[in-house]
Amino acid sequence: MMVIRPIQASDYASLHDIAVESGIGFTSLPVNETLLRNKITCSETSFAQDVKEPGDQGYLFVMEDTLTGQVVGTSAIQASVGVDDAFYHYHLSKVAHASRELDIYNLVDILTLCNDYTGVTEICTLFLREQARRGNNGRFLSKFRFLFLKEHAERFAETVIAEMRGVSDEDGNSPFWQWLEEHFFSMDFPTADYLTGIGQKVFIAELMPKYPIYVNLLSKEAQAVIGKVHDKTRPALQLLQSEGFRNRGYVDIFDAGPTVEADLEHIRTARISRKLAAATGDPEGAKLHMVINTKLQGFRAVLAPLQVSKDEQRAILSQAAMTALQIEEGDQVRFAPLLLKG
């Protein structure tokens, strides 16, 4: 069985392996021991804090195979981005160049550097190792976070975003960054990506063009990837779109990948989730549900058959699921079906 739980200090080696496997472009997991250990410490502190409103908390989860004890994936939630460091995006919009006298009207796309998403909650650091990419593991590792957000809503902002990995080749070269590098930065994409991942963002403010960029002045290759995702990221984007996330013109400043957003109350899994007392039974044949307990430091999530009792008062789970969730008869659980209709 796969169980999702908060990361622990003893998971460092697994987190390092995941960081190496994730490769260039996965900014939130730089291959840097100090930074990775700091992420673990930050997460442990965040789960232990008594929080009334979102701040600089970061919640990092791991997926563990209970049969082998191996950590096979990560997933995270940043409570409020831009609290410590500036949080940059480009916003894609339009400007009209018109002359009534000459009867000329041109509508032009521009990219404007902004910090519009400062203070929102971000779901991030989603990575499933190659050997675990089967069945429903990827969907579960992404979507359980919506149950956690709903259950602990006071810890998070109303708006939730996700930055999607943009287009780059096997060597980590981004067509969008290549244009910026040539004209403004004089450093390659992997270097810029790594510096951002370790928190050294001051170079962005120092070197990034301060005025809007006219898209039609970019190279054709750069123009073609604005708002597009990496091939490996397309399933993740489709999943988020099915939950109600939409792109409102914001893209990453390095690879121009889209950022999607949704209000927590409008995220489908969060909206339709239910909370009931758990009961041990035989739900064999019931639909697969994502199920979480309502704890923080002892948080657990599983994917298991679940059946609601006829009186609508109890969530019936197998003993194995109850054990994995570390709950007893009568404890509260929040749950939602893994697959949504429509």
Task: Tell me what the pLDDT averaged over the chain comes to.
Answer: 91
Q: Is residue 23 very low, low, confident or very high in pLDDT (cuts 50, 70, 90)? A: confident
- Note the pLDDT of residue 69: 93
Please give the Cα distance from 117 to 188 (Å, whole number).
Answer: 26
- Does residue 200 surpass a pLDDT of 70? no
- Does residue 151 surpass a pLDDT of 60? yes
Fold of 2-89+115-268: Aminopeptidase (3.40.630)
- Note the pLDDT of residue 201: 65
When pLDDT is averaged across residues 152-163 and rounded to a whole number, the result is 97
Pairing of strands 301-305, 288-293: antiparallel
pTM given for the model: 0.91
Q: Which of 71-75, 116-120, 195-199, 289-293 has the lowest mean pLDDT?
A: 195-199
Strand runs labelled E in the chain: 2-6, 58-65, 70-78, 89-99, 104-114, 121-128, 159-163, 213-214, 246-251, 258-263, 274-280, 288-293, 301-305, 307-308, 314-317, 332-337
- Note the pLDDT of residue 184: 82
When pLDDT is averaged across residues 108-130 and rounded to a whole number, the result is 95
Looking at the domain that runs over 273-337, which CATH code has it been given? 2.40.40.20
User: Would you say 42 and 143 are in contact if contact means Cβ atoms under 8 Å apart?
Assistant: no
Task: Name the residues annotated as catalytic.
Answer: 230
- Note the pLDDT of residue 277: 97
Query: What percent helix, strand, coil does the chain show, rounded to 5?
Result: 35, 30, 40
Give the domain ranges of the chain. 2-89+115-268, 273-337
When pLDDT is averaged across residues 55-68 and rounded to a whole number, the result is 95
Q: Which of 38-52, 84-98, 202-216, 249-263 has the lowest mean pLDDT?
A: 202-216
pLDDT digits (tens, 9 = 90+) for 227-248: 999 888 899 999 999 999 999 9
Question: What are 161's strand-pairing partners?
Answer: 122, 261
